[in-house]
Chain A
Amino acid sequence: MLQSIVFAVVALLALGFAYFQFSKVRANILLGKDEAVTGPATARWKNMLLVAFGQKKMFKRLIPAVLHLMLYVAFVFTQIELIEIFIDGIFGVHRWFLGPLGGMYNGIISAIELLSILAFVATVIFLVRRNVLFIPRFHKPEMQGWPKLDANLILVFELILLACIFTMNGTDVVLQDLDPDHYRATNFAVSGFLGPVLFGGMDASTLHILERVGWWGHITMVFVFLNYLPKSKHLHILLAFPNTYFARLKPRGEMLNMPEVMNEVKSMMGLGDPNAPEPDMNAPLPEFGADDVTEMSWIDILGAYSCTECGRCTSVCPANITGKKLSPRKIVMNVRDRAEEIGNKIRSGNTEYAPNNEGVLSVDNFDDGRNLWDYITREEIHACTTCNACVEACPILINPLEMINKLRRHEILTEAKGPSDWMPLFNSIENQQRAWSVSNSRTAWIEQD
């Protein structure tokens, strides 16, 4: 009874705090501008099914894909055991599924155990890949400090989680001989053998304690994990699904149109709608592009929160490969970090960030004197060749190029800055409608040999 109450309280606290944290993430994503979700829902579901659920794009790199698949499948199937832990915890019963499922129960738990062994192996290999082997994408400048610790912490959590499962199941198997009324006979593929090897010969009271340590340890790790997710790159296990669903369906080569600029140019050229209202000359000048996450779209910020910092984008970026400062992963991480910063500052209610230090702080009046340029240098975005390699590489359809394009648009359109090398290009296009600053006719090639 006491255990049930403790469990219910812990579970409620853990879920409540997780809800609170996830709603902050949601609010941070919605700091972005509205963007309509266009295109057929069937195509979106297909993307989610193939890319997120089916991990299609992971398989461009076989070794990490297979290792990741082991962890992923084990994670998905372990949820069955988690449901049982909840039922057992709340109602103070033991292995409740054994009753209704009967013989099938052994099959399911055995499958989970076998997958858990694979997951254990994969986790150890992942730790080696991150910390022993030199895989360049894990050692870029943006991966120092917290991102590196974050990646390792998750793997360690995973090992603890798995150790708890086997402690729980293994002691259970040994206890079946000592206390067959409570610990009903099972036939688990791994623990049936591992349990007696590890825990055989221990006295009943030690085993009882160890069994509870395994059970509580497992569920505690699950709660810790759940509350750790919103602060971690590991959030991808959830956000990969909405991110693949909401990923833009437009052709990859298409840059998003800016209707406000198009309409202005149209009216300048006398092509506009003659019935359109006169533009308000006193209206404040609009900002074009984005120098902050609040000027980006919620779809961009969702992508940033979905990023698990795997670095596939950076490892194929031609600029990064040749030693330039640009790293698409860093851009994505910066967008997320800035969204976190703004979200936290707005929720602090500190009027220091409001105009004239008064009023209620919101995304509309927020100004902390900082923006994305405090995170991203011009040099980085100037190095982009818009080649779409990063977009192609992302296993969950994040689009770093869209973010870079918006920063470039802000720099040129709103700030009237940018690489001076581009000035002759712009002048030539504007004055001669050509990208080459030459005076000959466009038909000169006909006469040449």
Chain B
Amino acid sequence: MTVKTMAEFAAEDKTPEILFWVGCAGSFDDRAQKVTRAFAEILNAAGIEFAILGDEEACTGDPARRAGNEFLFQMVALQNIETLNMYGVKKMVTACPHCFNTIKNEYPALGGHYDIVHHTQLLQQLIDDGRIKMTEGGSFKGKRITYHDSCYLGRANGIYEAPRQVLESIDGQLVEMKRSRQNGLCCGAGGAQMWKEDEPGEKRINTERTDEALSLNADVIAVNCPFCLTMMTDGVTSREKQEEVMVYDLSELIVRQLAH
């Protein structure tokens, strides 16, 4: 796969259609890297000319800010805004709802104004516009798929329907958990919890959420967030269901169903 950076576009004096904000998880986490590749493949299949920032990208600052470290947040956020403004970036897409939320809702107060969408929104648009096509009766035909709302796409930004519409384009059977949409239960990773041990308690949050998904006899747990991906995968493994139940990001489901 060839992916060009903003610097490369700029050197050719060109502007890409959209900037793909990969994020730290999508860049460095083994499992999330697969999501990044899947989404990049979909963008290529749809014929979208996109760029990444590559090593000019910095953490958006979300975990630092939520842990309470505002100085650190401001440092990386302002650095990112400098970079983005230098390239004159206007349109962005990201596969991480934390990056999405920070850039969409928090960068404006720091002087960064961008038109950013979450990858599930772009996927829905590409499907609606017929820019990507699905094969009939793919590998998810008849499979029970449950969708886990991430907090930062769902409650924080009110995006509940786009991901569900994307899921309807594959032939699976969508089953809802009792706690869904506005009432969705967190996977346990937000607020910088991803980087620390749980406080003392009776159960891990990801196990609580995984149990809910498993109670539906789902074959696939679909997520929209690299942190949820880790947490739900760990949850499934802790219940020793990793052979029967798969945890996938939406773009991984779509890339498998692409009609070439």
Contact = CB atoms under 8 A, between A and B. Distances in A.
B199 A382 contact: yes
Interface residues of B, number: 75
Given A433-B76, A441-B54, A323 B201 contact: yes
Interface string B198-241: 11111111011100000000000000000000000000000000
B28 A387 contact: no
Interface string B168-193: 00000000000000110110111111
A387 B242 CA distance: 26
B192 A265 contact: no
Interface size class of A (residues with CB under 8 A): 35 or more
B195 A323 contact: no
Interface string A296-334: 000000000000000000001011011111100000000
The secondary structure that dominates the A interface is loop
A252 B156 contact: yes
B195 A379 contact: no
B199 A321 contact: no
A321 B57 contact: no
Nearest to A417: B68
Interface stretch (A144-152, A202-210, A402-410): A402-410
Contacts of B195: 421-422, 424-425, 435
> Among B28, B70, B105, B207, which residue has the most Cβ atoms of chain A within 10 A?
B70
B68 A269 contact: no
Interface in B56-71: 57-59, 61, 63-71
A448 B33 CA distance: 8
Contacts of B86: none
Contacts of A324: 198-201
A288 B70 CA distance: 9
A254 B198 CA distance: 24
Contacts of B197: 421
A265 B75 CA distance: 6
A368 B193 CA distance: 34
B26 interface: yes
B190 A386 contact: yes
B28 A434 contact: yes
Contacts of B71: 261, 264-265, 413
Given A252-B155, A422-B192, A444 B27 contact: yes
Contacts of A440: 28
Contacts of B24: 434-436
